[in-house]
Amino acid sequence: MQGKVALEEHFALDETVQDSAGFSPESDWPELKARLLDIQDRRLREMDAHGIEMMLLSLNAPAVQALRQHDSAIGLSQRANDFLAEQVRRRPDRFQGLAALPMQDPDAAARELNRCVEELGFKGALVNGFTQVADHDHAVYYDVPAFRPFWAEVERLGVPFYLHPRNPLAKDAAIYETHRWLMGPTWAFGQETAVHALRLMGSGLFDAHPKLQIIIGHMGEGLPYSMWRVDNHNKWMAVQNRYPAKRKIAEYFRENFYITASGNFRTQTLIDAMLEIGADRILFSADWPFENIDHASTWFDTTAIAENDRYKIGRANAWSLFKLG
């Protein structure tokens, strides 16, 4: 399929590239590093070869979210966003930007998102999971009340927010001890992001801000296949839905979330997701440079779905959601 849009596609600055070193064997790091630091050369050739018209680019992980000091997080966000804006200006027909945000300071994050959308022309934001701040030794999630003004600004601007994975903090990862192979994209990324998404849904956030649109990757981080059980366990018991939100979790999932196919190139999984959330809320992505563009595109271009659904997932949904026209 020609004209595809991909939106979980990452780059790195010299000062953030080392954050990704742990996601590959040492022997593969030179290749991954080169992929991360390239935007205008090999990336474009890969796009041309595999029918990708547009990439929405975002900073690698965890980068900003791992900085404890507000000033450091704000400074890195601004440098990354200014760099990305310059790259987009060179080829706006092929690249658009998703903002990095200093979630350590919700007010600063709202201001930076506003700057990126109103001044730099970015199409949304991508944040690498929970954040860390100097006066806490735990992960800070975005369902807490301090972030409500930030979410109000996201809704006002009318742009999507991509909730991207990161590994749990070491103190929260005891379940993975002696099984470190489960960290990262194998399992921990998905579980961490799925819980964060459920916290947002259960918190009442979407009752207060019903127009918010959140994106999660990797075919929904396992959530499409858990929705029925989340809402229907122990239905004979007297008390149900013990959370602040007013509606069933699946209703928020179907109305306030999109999922991408990034790094999960399997037809059975795609069809399951289509049955649960609908083809109108699924978006093509590759997860370059951690996954191969040819693997993503070859699978998607030939997977056994209706051509109308292929067009929506591959292009039309993203074109509409991000207002690319």
CATH number at residue 267: 3.20.20.140
Q: How confident is the model at residue 301 (pLDDT cuts 50, 70, 90)?
A: very high
pLDDT-derived band of residue 288, with 50, 70 and 90 as boundaries?
very high
Residue 235 pLDDT = 87
The reported pLDDT for the residue numbered 306 is: 98
Q: What is the pLDDT of residues 156-215, one digit of tens each?
A: 999 999 999 999 999 999 999 999 999 999 999 999 999 999 999 999 999 999 999 999
The pLDDT of residue 137 is 82
pLDDT at residue 128, rounded to an integer: 97
Report CA-CA distances (Å) from 53 to 45, 47, 94.
11, 7, 6
The band of 135, judged by pLDDT with boundaries at 50, 70 and 90, is confident
pLDDT in tens, 79-98: 999 999 999 999 999 999 99
Mean pLDDT of 138-156: 97
Q: Tell me, what's the pLDDT at 18? A: 97
pLDDT above 90: residue 312: yes
Q: How many structural domains is the chain composed of? A: 1
Return the residue matching tokens 């440098």. 79
pLDDT for 240: 83
Mean pLDDT of 287-313: 98
For residue 143, give its domain range. 4-321
| Angle, helices 148-157/106-118, rounded to nearest 10 degrees | 10
Average pLDDT of the chain to the nearest whole number: 97
Identified catalytic residue from 38, 287, 294, 301: 287
Known catalytic residue: 287? yes
Residue among 172, 158, 152, 139 nearest 106 (CA) = 152
Q: Is the pLDDT of residue 252 over 90?
A: yes
Residue 95 near residue 54, CB atoms below 8 Å: yes
Q: Does the pLDDT at position 136 exceed 80?
A: no
At 18-74, the pLDDT tens digits run 999 999 999 999 999 999 999 999 999 999 999 999 999 999 999 999 999 999 999
- Residue 300's pLDDT band, with cuts at 50, 70 and 90, is very high
Asked if residue 127 lies in contact with residue 65, where contact means CB atoms within 8 angstroms, the answer is yes
Q: Cα–chain-centroid distance for residue 137? A: 24
Distance between start and end Cα atoms, the chain: 19
pLDDT at 239: 84
